[in-house]
Amino acid sequence: MRRTSLGVRLTVLAGFAALAAVALLVSLAVGSNPIPLGDVWQLLTHPSGSFESAVVNEQRVPRTLLIVVVGAALGVAGALMQSLTRNPLADPGILGVNAGASLAVVLAVAVFGVASIWFYLWFAFAGAALASVLVYVLGAGVGRGAAGGRVATPVRLALAGVAISMAISALVQTVILSNQHAFNEFRFWAAGSAEGRGYPVLWAVLGFVVLGLVVALSLAPSLNALALGDETGRALGVRVARTRVLVMIAVTLLAGAATAAVGPIGFVGLGVPYLARAVCGPDQRWVLPYSAVMAPTLLLAADVLGRVVIAPQEVQVGIIAAILGGPVFIALARRRRIEAL
Amino acid sequence: MRVRTASHRHVVLRAGGAVLRLERRAFAVAAALLAVILVIGVSGMLIGDYPLGVRDVLASVAGVHGDPLGQYFVRDIRLPRVLAALLVGAALGVSGGIFQNISGNALGSPDIIGFTTGAATGALLQIILFEAGPEAVAVGALLGGFGTAFAVYLLAWRGGLAGYRLVLVGIGVSAVLAAVNSLLVVRASLTAAQTAAQWLAGSLNAIGWGQVLLVACTVGALLPAALVLSRPLGAMTMGDDLATGLGVRVERTRLLIVAIGIALVSVATAITGPIAFVALAAPQIAKRLTRSAGIGLGTAALMGAALVCASDLVAQRLFAPTQLPVGVVTGSLGGIYLIWLLGSEWRRQKA
């Protein structure tokens, strides 16, 4: 492992934060309605009643902020999940979050006839939370003390999560194959899009994400100790079972809120923590903030591109994020030796 | 053939000069799985909207049944379907076992590392852009699977083919292709998108002898090769250096076994569409049943065959006459079974 000093890590982190800030400004300035850069700044500082003002202040600002929040949530949730399962191939979806949210959304359409972003949000969040509780109860087992009882091995947790996700996805497929309306709504939701998300969505998920981020960052030292194995972690004073529960709560809050806000976005949670570890090493105290800064940059870039490539129509942010991030991930996988988690 | 008990854990089969040494428990599990497959396979021939007895089925298979309709159902509908389920299941099970071995990761199945996604891209292009028929879709899937494999191989090759790098590159390629698939589905007309969704669910509903023959030839040629290579593959899970020390030609073995795994999963997916979860679950379920440290390819093949065959029976009969796609059932059946198995394993450890 390369030893890097605190100063270097902080400087690099600040560099990535600056990159994120640039992406944020671009996201405010660029869109399907061409508005000159000077006007955008003018409208931000002095909102008028014009159409352009509404585009900038009512659409681009909340959408950009939402992308930042969702990106940070997904990046950190992915890093937590990979650390929890000790498997660099894990992503937040393994906790059943995407499958649960998907089932809730198709049921909302098929059974309750609901079709609006606002209701999808709450259905998706509830579905994601229920699914992750199910994964925890069945996968990790409940009611076991940290002292005598056995704690589920990371690989078993990952397998249980995949198994439950698959079982839930089978239900989703049954519904969408038999209900045309539900399928049509689902295919757009499932691509992951920030189109038309305004302040209400942002305020609805912001609290959950902030809480999740705080819990996640506070767990970083325990995760570092657990990376050495459960026994070593316990010897170092980590309460293993309690840490696992808290990590899963944090992942549920973060990934559940993100999925509720913009739909399932697949690649970010898997790829970004991997990129972060490539830059800063395996220390979770650094991996988590790096992921939180790098993921929004990727998502912002993807969202801006999605808005302009076939304007005035949009390509969903989840699609562009994977197309942008995939090649970077491949280049990295080719270049470096893979570190074990 | 002589069966001899070699030790507490192993049995040795001798036939002429050939000697096969098996773990006792793996042997028992394999025998039990064969029995299960036989029962489910025969049930698949008996059960249906046109009721037939065991004698009718046997007579129909032999071609001497008096009732032409019964003979038609058995020989042209049920028999190819059961055989296809068994062969596709075996192909997926072995392929999953190969990639989980190569990557040393339970999540490293072909579903996750991109070959299935690539096959889906090929099929979706045919369905959505060219509005093609089933044969063209199968060809598209086959080309998509092999094309993806070739791309992953080229990208992952750096003077050698490290298993883990292969899987990571596969994941990156898979992410891009999944995005392309999603883009195709979102931009398509509702009708085309629904056809695509049907195909993506994985189904055995329109299987004929032509497809059975294709998958039978593939499995018939590649499964024995995979089983022969499974011993050096087992040695390689302990690390390349150790395996080289044991006399394994690591690079060549890995190349061959990866090619076999790709061919098996691509052909299976081309025939039926992506049947969810079998490649991931079958080797893991087999491993837990045999309580072995490594992943056995033979038991993974049997487990895959049993899983797909049983799932297809459920898919046909659960809401008959409406037929579910088999992939929906493998997802839930395999998922539930794996969860149960994990749970009972945990209880056993605790007791």
What pLDDT, in 10s, does the model give residues A36-87?
Answer: 777 888 888 877 878 888 888 888 888 999 999 999 999 999 999 888 888 7
CB contact under 8 A, A169 and B339: no
What one-character DSSP code corresponds to residue A94?
A: G
* B190 Cα to chain A: minimum distance (Å): 7
CA gap A132, A123 in Å, rounded: 14
* A217 Cα to chain B: minimum distance (Å): 27
DSSP for A224-247?
A: HHHTT-HHHHHHTT--HHHHHHHH
pLDDT digits (tens, 9 = 90+) for A319-328: 888 888 888 8
CB contact under 8 A, B328 and A320: no
Write out the two tokens for A258. 């993100």
B351 part of contact set with chain A, CB < 8 Å: no
CB contact under 8 A, A162 and B107: yes
A131 part of contact set with chain B, CB < 8 Å: no
CB-nearest to B197 from A162, A166, A176 is: A176
* A109 Cα to chain B: minimum distance (Å): 16
Q: Which residues of B touch A333 (CB under 8 A)?
A: 156, 165, 168-169, 171-172
Please report the pLDDT score of residue A68 as a whole number.
93
CB-nearest to B105 from A87, A323, A327 is: A87
Write out the two tokens for B97. 């076992």
pLDDT at A141 over 70: no
Write out the two tokens for A140. 């990790």
pLDDT at A1 over 50: no
* B174 Cα to chain A: minimum distance (Å): 8
CB contact under 8 A, A163 and B156: no
Residue with structure tokens 């996604």? Answer: B117
Q: Which residues of A touch B336 (CB under 8 A)?
A: 163, 167
3-class secondary-structure state, position B23: strand
Residue of B339, B348, B350 to mutate when probing chain A, most A C-beta within 10 A: B339
First vs last C-alpha separation in chain A: 12
Q: What is the ipTM of this complex?
A: 0.79
CA gap A121, A70 in Å, rounded: 13
CB-nearest to A191 from B182, B329, B342 is: B182
8 Å CB contact between A197 and A117: yes
CA gap B253, B248 in Å, rounded: 8
3-class secondary-structure state, position B22: strand
Q: Which residues of A touch B330 (CB under 8 A)?
A: 170
CA gap B263, B149 in Å, rounded: 9
pLDDT digits (tens, 9 = 90+) for A247-277: 888 998 998 889 888 888 878 888 899 889 8
pLDDT at A149 over 50: no
CB contact under 8 A, A177 and B335: no
A155 part of contact set with chain B, CB < 8 Å: yes
pTM summary value: 0.80
Q: Which of A98, A95, A143, A83 is nearest to A276 (CA)?
A: A83
pLDDT in tens, chain B (351 residues): 556 655 566 777 666 666 666 677 888 888 899 999 989 888 888 887 777 777 777 777 777 777 777 778 877 888 889 999 999 999 999 999 998 888 777 777 787 777 888 989 999 998 888 887 778 888 899 899 889 988 888 888 776 666 677 878 888 888 899 889 988 988 888 888 888 888 888 888 878 888 889 889 999 999 998 888 887 887 777 777 777 777 777 788 888 888 899 889 988 988 888 887 888 889 888 888 888 777 788 899 999 999 999 999 988 888 777 788 888 888 888 778 777 777 776 666 655
Q: What are phi and psi of B344, to 5 degrees?
A: -70, -35
Q: Which of B269, B135, B150 is nearest to B202 (CA)?
A: B269
B198 part of contact set with chain A, CB < 8 Å: yes
Residue of A95, A175, A186, A187 to mutate when probing chain B, most B C-beta within 10 A: A187
Please report the pLDDT score of residue A47 as a whole number.
79
pLDDT tier, A218 (very low <50, low <70, confident <90, very high otherwise): very high
Tell me the residue length of chain B.
351
Beta carbons within 10 angstroms of residue B106's beta carbon:
22
Give me the total of CB pairs closer than 8 Å, taking one residue from chain A and one from chain B: 163
Count the alpha carbons within 13 Å of A140 in the hemisphere toward its beta carbon: 25
A160 part of contact set with chain B, CB < 8 Å: yes
Q: Which of A335, A282, A280 is nearest to B169 (CA)?
A: A335
Query: With a CB-CB cutoff of 8 Å, which residues 232-271 of chain B face chain A?
Result: none
pLDDT at A146 over 70: no
Query: Apex CA B263: angle with CA B129 and CA B33, to 5°?
Result: 115
Q: What is the mean pLDDT of residues A1-8?
A: 68
Burial bucket for residue B153 (CB in 10 Å: 0-12, 13-18, 19+): middle
* A132 Cα to chain B: minimum distance (Å): 14
Please report the pLDDT score of residue A164 as a whole number.
84
Maximum C-alpha span of chain B: 64
CB-nearest to B176 from A155, A165, A326 is: A326
Order across the sheet with B2-5: list the strands: B2-5, B10-15, B18-23
pLDDT tier, A340 (very low <50, low <70, confident <90, very high otherwise): very low
CB-nearest to A159 from B155, B183, B284 is: B284
Q: Which of B123, B270, B127 is nearest to B194 (CA)?
A: B127
Q: Which residues of B touch A334 (CB under 8 A)?
A: 155-156, 158, 165, 169
For chain A, percent of residues with pLDDT exceeding 90 = 14
Q: Scanning every residue of chain B, which has its alpha carbon at the shortest distance from the alpha carbon of A320?
A: B179
CB contact under 8 A, A180 and B112: no
A313 part of contact set with chain B, CB < 8 Å: no
CB contact under 8 A, B324 and A183: no
Q: Which residues of B touch A174 (CB under 8 A)?
A: 324, 328
A87 part of contact set with chain B, CB < 8 Å: yes
pLDDT at A211 over 90: yes
pLDDT at A341 over 60: no
pLDDT digits (tens, 9 = 90+) for A175-209: 888 888 888 888 888 888 888 788 888 888 899 99
